[in-house]
Amino acid sequence: MAKRITDSKLGASVSSAIKSISANEQVFLLLISGALGAFCGFLSFVFEWMTGVFNTLFFEKTAEQFGSFPVLYAFAIIPFIPAFGGLLVGLLTWWTKMGHETASAAEVMKWTAVDGGVVRKRIVWFRMLATSIFLGSGGSGGREGPITQICGAMGSAIGQFMKTSSERLRLLVGCGAAAGIAATFNAPLAGVIFTVELILGDFNVISFLPIVISSVMATTVKRLLLGDIPAFETPPYTLVSPWEIGLYCILGIICGLVARLFFVCYFWAEEYFKDKVKVHPVLKPAIGGFVVGLIGIFLPGVFGNGYEVMGNMLDGEMLIGMAVALLLFKIIATSVALGSGGSGGIFAPALFIGCMTGGVFGFVVNYLAPGAVASPGAYAMVGLGAVMAAVAHAPLTNILMAYELTGNYQIILPIMTACILSTYVMTRLTDESLYTEKLRRRGIRLWRGRDLTVMDKITVREVMSSDVTTVPENLPFGQLMTLITTSRDSYFPVVDSGGRLTGIISIQNIRAFMLDSEDLCDLVVAKEIATEDVITVNPDNNLNAAMEKFAMKDIEQLPVVEKKNKTTILGMLSRTDVLAAYKKDVLRKPIVDGEAG
């Protein structure tokens, strides 16, 4: 009896502790994000181990069997290894009904922007198994996109189990994505910025801290399991002279053009396999794998994520001819492998392509100015970040990642220069990154973590508030202050004697007068404080148009006026109400039975 009472008290104490922690939402969220990050670090370790196991099975074991017949092995066996891996991926994808999703980080962006953070739990084991087979059999792709899916889905699963809000689900998906990138590259800061810049598309202090905790914990666990080993062994770097920055400007422009080439080839291959290759979907990854295998006969460096080959380039242990060949054929191999339905990401291939681009450029400038410029490996390191920055429209992520990988502050200026210029060139050639273009082709247009297609369908009329507090032009400052302090609004349309809109007053307008408010009570009227250049919307505008106007001057409320008479005020539209309407419409999206399972 005593033992039962003790157990009962213990259970009550534990339950009370959990409720106490849960009551402080921020503390609870930090604990969950830390646990999620630690588990994601372990998942990243298992993912790499599985990829290595499949690589051993596919390549080393077959080499043991056929290695004594090199010609037979090269021409009759090697092409069929990626093809067989592709066939297994195709069968697995067909069996699990996952064919509509790719392995890139674009899916994670969709989960946070469109799906409210609700992700099918099977993503965790499916993506880990499919990508391990794909990369282990020589498929040309990366594990960074898949690991963001694996860890993001794990964050969603935890959030769904705990029945958190949609905003918290989105945040936990972001925490998982950050942890995945941080653990993969041993670069916690890059993981954080990757999530803020690409996955969530916005920044606020409340969400930033859990993402940091998750990223740090993932990196810590990965280092405990494997040691503090960087993703690449980078060369020592020094900026030989200030004028060398000009060369990095040229490299940045070249990297932007190469990124565009990769972009075009990737989507051409995807469309070709979708429209022209008339076979069962199961067979398409096998065909793509066979093409990669044919290339791999002569250039085995195109197989897998290419980290080892990038290491050779960074160390300067590669000839310029080989670097050019790998640059061109990696673009082809990746486009075919992923366009046919292979389970890999584009992060590592983009890094590979950038590394070769920078290396080739480095060889050329060293030939033209021997001893006066940095080594080809240094240019390869800068190119490595610049192409990915352009492909993803994410310069900040790649600037910080390059710094974390090298640990050398001197690389900051060259990498900033190249990343910004390459991204600028890419944005001049296309408005979309490779990630957002993938979603756009599925009818999803993202902007700052929101789906523009959803906001296109909602008009201002559906969201606006007709309850508007107007201010007469001749209202004295003292009475204006009384009105503002008793109102919930932050913006007040100013009207003339006929009720026509002539300006608007915000808290910012009166801040400069507040210290002298007693002296100005009867001297200043509303018209003298108001902003006359008023940004307005009409009831027929959609919410995308409204959000663009909010962003013009970073304002929180807009007057709604008649379409034909912009001085007739109908109501007010707030940014908060727009975002709330967006979230409601996203949640209204039908969910197929079992989709979250």
Mean pLDDT to the nearest integer, 345-369: 95
Alpha carbon 176 to its chain centroid, in Å, reads: 12
- Quote the CA–CA distance of 423 and 395 in Å, as a whole number: 7
Tally Cβ neighbours within 10 Å of residue 449.
Answer: 17
Average pLDDT over residues 21-30: 70
Asked whether residue 241 carries a pLDDT value surpassing 70, the answer given is yes
Q: Output b/e per residue, 536-552; b: 16+ Cβ within 10 A.
A: bbbbebbbbebbebbee
Tell me how many degrees the CA angle 103-109-111 measures, rounded to the nearest 5: 90
Helix axes 25-55, 144-161, angle to 10 degrees: 140
As a whole number of Å, the CA-based R_g of the chain is 28
What is the pLDDT averaged over residues 303-311? 92
> What is the model's pLDDT at position 406?
74
Q: Average pLDDT for residues 190-212, to the nearest whole number?
A: 85
Q: List the one residue out of 360, 281, 263 whose CA is nearest residue 89.
A: 281
| pLDDT computed for residue 559 by the predictor | 92
pLDDT, tens digit, 9 for 90 and up, residues 326-344: 999 999 999 999 999 999 9
pLDDT band at 513 (very low <50, low <70, confident <90, very high): low
Name the residue among 248, 188, 234 with its Cα closest to residue 406: 234
pLDDT, residue 401, reads: 86
* Assigned fold of 244-438: Clc chloride channel (1.10.3080)
Contact between 132 and 57 under an 8 Å Cβ cutoff? The reply is no
The CATH code belonging to domain 457-587 is: 3.10.580.10
CATH of domain 22-226: 1.10.3080.10
Kindly report the average pLDDT of the chain as a whole number.
Answer: 86
**pLDDT of 11 strictly over 90:** no
The label of the residue with tokens 């310069």 reads 395
Give CB contacts under 8 A, 24+ apart, made by 471-475. 471/495, 471/505, 471/526, 471/530, 472/496, 472/497, 472/526, 473/497, 473/502, 473/503, 473/525, 473/526, 473/527, 473/530, 474/525, 474/526, 474/527, 475/525, 475/526
Domain-wise residue ranges, the chain: 22-226, 244-438, 457-587
Please identify which residue in the block is written with the tokens 């964050």.
Answer: 155
Say if residue 9's pLDDT is above 60: no
pLDDT at site 446: 75
First to last CA, the chain: 42
Residue 346 reports pLDDT greater than 50: yes
Type of residue found at 342 = G
Domains 22-226 and 244-438 alike in fold: yes
CA nearest to 79, candidates 329, 287, 334, 294? 294
Taking only the tens place, the pLDDT of each residue in 244-264 is: 999 999 999 999 999 999 999
For residue 453, the tally of other CB atoms under 10 A from its CB is 16
Mean pLDDT of 302-315: 92
Average pLDDT over residues 303-323: 91
pLDDT band of 485, cuts 50, 70, 90? confident
Residue 590: which pLDDT band, with cuts at 50, 70 and 90? very low
Per-residue pLDDT band for 135 (boundaries 50, 70, 90) equals very high
Can you tell me the distance from the alpha carbon of 265 to that of 273, in angstroms, rounded to the nearest whole number?
A: 12
Burial class (CB in 10 A: 0-12, 13-18, 19+), 576: exposed
Residues 6+ apart with CB under 8 A from 114: 444, 451, 454, 586, 589
